[in-house]
Amino acid sequence: MNKELVKTKIEELSTSLLTELNAEIFELNIKQQGRTVVIELLVDKPEGGINIDECIYINKNLNEKLEQEQILEGDYVVEVSSPGIDRPLKVAKDFRRIKGKKIRVHLKDLVDGKLEYGGFLKDVRENEIIIESKNQDIKILLSNIQTGMQII
């Protein structure tokens, strides 16, 4: 089994389902567990909030498409879920999804003498975010963010 080929095919097969629900793939993992191939598909909406019924819908319809296309030999399992609220923030679209919410970022390099900031995500631009922290706007380059998380 060529994992990259299978990944590409799964992305193609799921595109229409995801578009229909205004959802997108957050992460796609393919693992071998014994003789069973496990396909983990983490999906969400740009504004967040995919629900369990939508995950079930994607799972059912993707399974049907995989059976029709017969791209996998042998046993396989498809698991569709939300990445969860505690997922790491990696790219601009992750930050856009939670604009206005409270976040914490750990930086690679110092910004105003600090490696960590927490506050409200005020704005997301092409290559930077702006966090309102202690009534100050802090500009942070996305490339300088080691880790970012939403604070619940």
* In a domain? residue 67: yes
Query: If you search the block for the tokens 């202690």, which residue do you land on?
Result: 134
Q: Among 81, 109, 130, which residue terminates a domain? A: 81
| Domain annotation covers residue 43 | yes
Q: H or E stretch including 55? A: helix 52-69
Asked if residue 13 and residue 49 are part of one domain, the reply reads: yes
User: Which pLDDT score is estimated for 135?
Assistant: 93
Q: d(Cα 11, Cα 18) in Å, to the nearest integer?
A: 10
The reply to whether 59 and 99 lie within a common domain is no
Tokens representing residue 12 in the block: 């193609």
Q: Does one domain contain both 44 and 100?
A: no
87 assigned to some structural domain: no
Q: What is the pLDDT of residue 1?
A: 63
With H, G, I as helix, E, B as strand and everything else as coil, classify residue 135: coil
CB atoms within 10 A of CB 3: 12
Domain that holds residue 112: 92-150
Q: What is the pTM of this model?
A: 0.71
Q: What is the CATH number of the domain that holds 48?
A: 3.30.300.70
Identify the segments of the chain with pLDDT beneath 70.
Answer: 1
Half-sphere CA count of 95, side-chain side, radius 13 A: 24
Tokens of 124: 């997301």
Report d(CA 14, CA 66) in Å as an integer.
Answer: 10
Is 86 within the bounds of a domain?
A: no
Q: Give me the helix-helix angle, 52-69 and 3-20, nearest 10°.
A: 130
